[in-house]
A and B are shown apart, each in its own frame.
Chain A
């Protein structure tokens, strides 16, 4: 069965620190990959997505993610975090198989950025 693993459940950083959140998935076929962000008390919003082409994708607010097919990974990065990046981040994978596709979410990583 397809699954998505996010390695860190909680991350605490100081402002201006660099961020990398890990995401690995288990599925050998065609995938679409997503990172969603949930700010405190708000709904999920799309941060960035990968469908095909350049494996390094850039999203909103300075975030980027790199798809490494050989490692089944789609890690999220940001060179310098801000206090306003405090949120929960969800990696999601859409696996395609015989006309059926399903979006599977990871458990989430809660990021706290201290001023």
Chain B
């Protein structure tokens, strides 16, 4: 089944403790992206990647890092999480010819205490 898989789905952590949210897609998509969803703000793009080894900042990149060493994986790294990063995170992907239709992962709800 074609899908985007995120882990963990739920995580509670404390300020400053590094964490990684993994994202993997099995559709051979070139483009991958991370969003955060906050009430009243919709989805805001954190980082995106047009292809392997190519990453760019989105609208709210502060406090996050990403890497794209392989086509299928696009992990989101929070080096020193803070409470304002408490949010619902979505990974998404599409292929270059996919007419911009994104396939989303199930989401990862992160709470930073």
Contacts and interface: CB of A to CB of B under 8 A. Distances in A.
A25 interface: no
Contacts of B92: 44
B40 A9 contact: yes
A90 B42 contact: yes
Interface in A30-45: 32, 34, 42-45
A43 B42 contact: no
Interface residues of A, number: 21
A107 B42 CA distance: 4
B75 interface: no
Interface string A1-21: 000101001000000000000
Nearest to A90: B42
Contacts of B44: 105
A103 B100 contact: yes
A46 interface: yes
Given A32-B99, A44-B90, A94-B100, A106 B42 contact: yes
30 contacts: A4-B42, A32-B99, A32-B100, A34-B100, A34-B101, A42-B106, A43-B90, A43-B105, A43-B107, A44-B43, A44-B90, A44-B104, A45-B104, A46-B101, A46-B102, A49-B101, A51-B99, A90-B42, A90-B43, A94-B100, A102-B45, A103-B45, A103-B100, A105-B35, A105-B43, A105-B44, A106-B42, A107-B40, A107-B42, A108-B40
